[in-house]
């Protein structure tokens, strides 16, 4: 079982809250807060309650290993702009996933994984911020859910593809995916290739 500090850290990062701000919520300085997340000092019950209110989650979430269900469609969407880093790409993927769940009235990550035809463990890792988006998941999100890969990789266009654009996008992603299989830095290079081929100015 993961420590409470580890769970707090995962949820804090998912909510994009700094250690400094979390420390302010429980009235400790950032170094003292960091020790709590590392497990060197225990969180008090009052501190956990304050963090739960800051993160907008039930206190019980700190005792659960699976936090993927905390990614709800009602959360405000952060602005990633043309951020091409893995975190920016993951952020846009999560935004599209939330919108898709809302539009199709999906209740859980399991429902979304079924729609995408992807492994739920892998999808949860991406949506929980533990792993970067893989090209295989992106390809399936395009093929089965009409996610717009151009938006996810470079913030260009709409969340979803039009039906007439599906075939071309899938062919393009497949070609890039096959070329990337032997590439050590496959994700970044494939994303850059997609952006360059589309003539998008950064």
- Kind plus residue range of the DSSP H or E element containing 43: none
**What's the pLDDT at 73?**
39
Which pair of structure tokens corresponds to residue 133?
């988006």
- Kind plus residue range of the DSSP H or E element containing 70: none
**CB-count burial class (<10 Å; 0-12, 13-18, 19+) for 27:** exposed
pLDDT tens digits along 25-42: 999 998 899 899 988 989
**Fold agreement (4-65, 86-197):** yes
Domain positions in the chain are 4-65, 86-197
**CB-count burial class (<10 Å; 0-12, 13-18, 19+) for 83:** middle
pLDDT tens digits along 139-172: 888 888 888 888 888 777 788 877 776 666 666 6
Closest CA to 160 of 84, 81, 102, 107: 102
**Does this model's pTM top 0.85?**
no
pLDDT band at 200 (very low <50, low <70, confident <90, very high): low
**What's the pLDDT at 187?**
57
pLDDT tens digits along 92-113: 888 888 888 888 888 888 999 9
Any idea which fold 4-65 has?
Answer: 434 Repressor (Amino-terminal Domain) (1.10.260)
pLDDT tens digits along 33-83: 989 998 898 999 999 999 989 888 888 888 876 655 555 434 444 444 455
What is the DSSP code string of 78-103? Answer: PP-TT--SHHHHHHHHHHHHHHHHHH
CATH 1.10.260 correct for 86-197: yes
Please give, one letter per residue, the 3-state secondary structure of 164-184.
Answer: HHHHHHHHHHHHHHHHHCCCC
Which residues neighbour 50 within 8 Å (Cβ) at sequence distance 6 or greater? 25, 26
């Amino acid at each position: 079982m993961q420590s409470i500090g580890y769970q707090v850290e995962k949820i804090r990062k998912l909510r994009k809250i700094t250690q400094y701000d979390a420390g302010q919520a429980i009235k400790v300085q950032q170094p003292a807060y960091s020790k709590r997340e590392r497990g060197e000092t225990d969180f008090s019950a009052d501190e956990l309650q304050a963090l739960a209110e800051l993160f907008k989650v039930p206190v019980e979430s700190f005792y659960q290993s699976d936090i993927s269900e905390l990614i709800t469609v009602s959360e405000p969407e952060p602005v990633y702009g043309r951020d091409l880093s893995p975190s920016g790409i993951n952020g846009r993927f999560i935004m599209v996933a939330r919108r898709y769940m809302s539009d199709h009235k999906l209740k859980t990550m399991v429902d979304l994984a079924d729609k995408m035809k992807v492994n739920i463990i892998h999808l949860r890792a991406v949506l929980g911020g533990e792993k970067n988006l893989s090209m295989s998941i992106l390809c399936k999100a395009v093929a089965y859910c009409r996610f717009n890969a151009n938006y996810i990789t470079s913030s260009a266009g709409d969340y979803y593809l039009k039906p007439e654009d599906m075939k071309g996008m899938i062919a393009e992603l497949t070609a890039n995916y096959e070329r990337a299989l032997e590439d050590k830095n496959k994700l970044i290079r494939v994303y850059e290739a997609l952006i360059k081929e589309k003539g998008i100015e950064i």
